[in-house]
Amino acid sequence: MRTASRCLAAAAILLLAVPAAAQAPVTALVGATVIDIDGGAPIADATVLIEGETIATVGPRGSVAIPAGARVVPMPGKWLIPGLMNMHVHFGLKLPGAAGDALLKETDGEQTLRMAGNAWKALQAGVTTVRLVHTENGNDFALKRAIARGEVKGPRIESAGELIVPTGGHGFREVDGPYGFAQAAREQFKRGASWIKIAISGGISDTHGAIGAAPMTDDEIRTLIEVAHRNGMKVTAHNGSVTAAEQALKYGVDCFEHGYFLDEKTLRRMKAQNVWLVPTMVVSQPGAHEFYRRIGSPDWYLKRVELVGRDHWAMLQNAIRLGVDIALGTDQFPHEPNDGTTATVAEAELYVKAGMTPLKALQAGTIQTARMLGLDAKVGRIAAGQYADILALDADPTRDIKALRTIGFVMKGGDIVRDDDNLAVPRA
């Protein structure tokens, strides 16, 4: 009897809950052309119906009924694509030079607030999902939770926590021996990491050691990767070295960042093992020089960038030709000015310049990245059941990738966070 009345009470709550859920705000984006990110025919004069934070229906106008009371946003002449995703981001980035030096005494509180500001700017630039690949002291998870709770606006965050390296390596959290790496990986997991980032070679910003070096032992790499995989995390490695790449590939690494000096043999092996490449081309190509001058980078740093740039470019061309899975990442703020646009858009343009079709470059920043993260059921497409992460452009990016320079409308999870043309302002 008591169970029965409890069931009735539960049923009553459910009945009350249904009308409330049905009141989730409904938005209809009407009249734009929706790009099929999988390469099918675009939908011209489309209606995209959004309920709450999710896409309910997408189809030609007339095939989609717009419920009474919905907010209707007219979008004639616009092209809709899924929100962009950037897989190599540090919202708290500090680099060698005057700008980085000014941040040496930054507290965690100050850094987290600076990161929140950068997260907002990244979202404004059309980046609705990021993977953070090093942030100190768990500040990334504080930001991730604040965004998830709606206290701060920014992209969806997947994070690797702190970059783990051997003592003297390219990074922050220095550990030694297999157990040192295991413990550091488990600590990131406890904080909320879904990835582990290690540095298995040197980097452009190092003052000692070579980019081509491979300082980790087999035991260290093997144990680190095993511990990460046992906890459901993937491992990405900062890497420019062929020797270090072979070592990490032997033990099942999931992804390489940068890949500066990777040769054809290594790239073929990556392709065979479904290992991802996040190229971060913008850090080594000419468009970055303006950036390095702005942040007051020293001369030795600029020289190193130029030296690495040519090999990095040849590596990207090879990777594209060989069909290695590429996910877009910048290693600069997603919104950082670069070559007259943002770093994220400049990165996609470089992929096209190096041999991708515009559609492939778009995929590298949307469904490919979603697939790499294992989130493709929820993000990366404009399709029913996905989060409503949608950008509007003034031209067709599958014809010319430079159309990404015209992002003027950004929606994340049904929330319009940018609307340059006031499309969503009701007209009398």
Nearer to Zn ion, 334 or 397 (CB): 334
Tokens 């999902």: give the residue.
129
Could you tell me which residues are beta bridge partners of residue 251?
none
Nearer to Zn ion, 49 or 216 (CB): 216
CB of 386 to Zn ion, least distance (A): 28
CB of 334 to Zn ion, least distance (A): 13
Question: How many amino acids of this chain bind Zn ion (CB under 5 A)?
Answer: 1
- Site mask, Zn ion, residues 132-151, x = CB under 5 A? --------------------
Could you tell me which residues are beta bridge partners of residue 48?
29, 58
Neighbouring residues of 168: CB distance < 8 A, sequence distance ≥ 6: 174, 208, 209, 215
CB of 197 to Zn ion, least distance (A): 8
Using alpha carbons, select from 214, 269, 266 the residue that is nearest to residue 244: 214
Q: Please answer whether residues 214 and 184 qualify as being in contact, where contact means their C-beta atoms are separated by less than 8 angstroms.
A: no
Interaction of residue 331 with Zn ion, rule CB under 5 A: yes
Determine the distance from the C-alpha atom of residue 95 to the mean position of all C-alpha atoms in its chain, rounded to a whole number: 20
How far apart are alpha carbons 72 and 325 in whole angstroms?
38
Stretch that binds Zn ion, among 35-43, 50-58, 324-332, 335-343 (CB under 5 A): 324-332
How far apart are alpha carbons 143 and 147 in whole angstroms?
6
Q: Please answer whether residues 352 and 358 qualify as being in contact, where contact means their C-beta atoms are separated by less than 8 angstroms.
A: yes
How far apart are alpha carbons 3 and 60 in whole angstroms?
49
Nearer to Zn ion, 85 or 423 (CB): 85
CB of 349 to Zn ion, least distance (A): 20
CB of 208 to Zn ion, least distance (A): 18
CB of 14 to Zn ion, least distance (A): 48
CB of 171 to Zn ion, least distance (A): 9
Neighbouring residues of 252: CB distance < 8 A, sequence distance ≥ 6: 225, 229, 235, 273
Nearer to Zn ion, 75 or 343 (CB): 343
Nearer to Zn ion, 331 or 347 (CB): 331
CB of 428 to Zn ion, least distance (A): 49
How far apart are alpha carbons 359 and 367 in whole angstroms?
11
CB of 258 to Zn ion, least distance (A): 8
Nearer to Zn ion, 140 or 331 (CB): 331
Tokens of 333: 């703020």
- Site mask, Zn ion, residues 74-93, x = CB under 5 A? --------------------
Q: Which residues of 185-217 are buried (b: 16+ CB within 10 A; e: fewer)?
A: bbbbbebbbbbbbbbbbbbbbbeeeebebbbbe
Nearer to Zn ion, 34 or 237 (CB): 237
Nearer to Zn ion, 135 or 406 (CB): 135
How far apart are alpha carbons 290 and 335 in whole angstroms?
15
Neighbouring residues of 150: CB distance < 8 A, sequence distance ≥ 6: none
CB of 414 to Zn ion, least distance (A): 31
Tokens 């999931």: give the residue.
254
CB of 350 to Zn ion, least distance (A): 17
Q: Sign of the C-alpha dihedral, residues 371, 413, 125, 303? A: negative
Tokens of 137: 């002291």
Stretch that binds Zn ion, among 23-31, 185-193, 330-338, 349-357 (CB under 5 A): 330-338
Stretch that binds Zn ion, among 192-200, 312-320, 323-331, 395-403 (CB under 5 A): 323-331
Which residue of this chain has its Cβ atom nearest to Zn ion in the complex? Answer: 331
Nearer to Zn ion, 206 or 331 (CB): 331
Nearer to Zn ion, 215 or 414 (CB): 215
Tokens of 180: 């040192």
Stretch that binds Zn ion, among 8-16, 192-200, 204-212, 325-333 (CB under 5 A): 325-333
- Site mask, Zn ion, residues 223-242, x = CB under 5 A? --------------------
Stretch that binds Zn ion, among 186-194, 314-322, 329-337, 355-363 (CB under 5 A): 329-337
How far apart are alpha carbons 22 and 69 in whole angstroms?
12
Interaction of residue 336 with Zn ion, rule CB under 5 A: no
SS3 state of residue 406: helix
Nearer to Zn ion, 254 or 331 (CB): 331
Q: Please answer whether residues 168 and 208 qualify as being in contact, where contact means their C-beta atoms are separated by less than 8 angstroms.
A: yes
Q: Give me the residues that bind Zn ion (CB under 5 A), please.
A: 331
